[in-house]
Structure 1
Amino acid sequence: MTKNQKQQKKKQICKCVGKNAPTVLSPSELALAAVGSKARTALTGVAVAKTMNACVSEVIKYNSLNRL
């Protein structure tokens, strides 16, 4: 895999995580994150962790389908 291909995959995964991470948190978690910096930091990690694997799988699946 070339450096450019790696960068493209990284961008795709980051875009996916950014789009989906807020949807995995409950309204009460979002409210907590809005008022507390420690909660925001912790919940950011939780949201990213919950979406990362799904996004990696999505990017791999998308790229393998495009090769067909």
Structure 2
Amino acid sequence: MPVGGCRQPLGKMSLNGIRKVLAVAKKVQLNNPEILQPLADFFNIDIDERLNNPTSLEGLSYTSY
């Protein structure tokens, strides 16, 4: 899966934003796992483990806003 060239990180999200993205990603994985399967295969990751492991979210959101 081509991912293109490197670009600058977009930065951290608010905790509320992270929660919304996580809820949608979990819903997609539950109802249509074939959508995220190419990412799991290409990056050799377990999508369910990533979505349900709180340590995967460390450092992605601001500690205070």
Question: Normalised by the size of structure 2, how large is the TM-score?
Answer: 0.30
Q: TM-score, normalised by structure 1?
A: 0.29
Structure number with higher helix proportion: 1
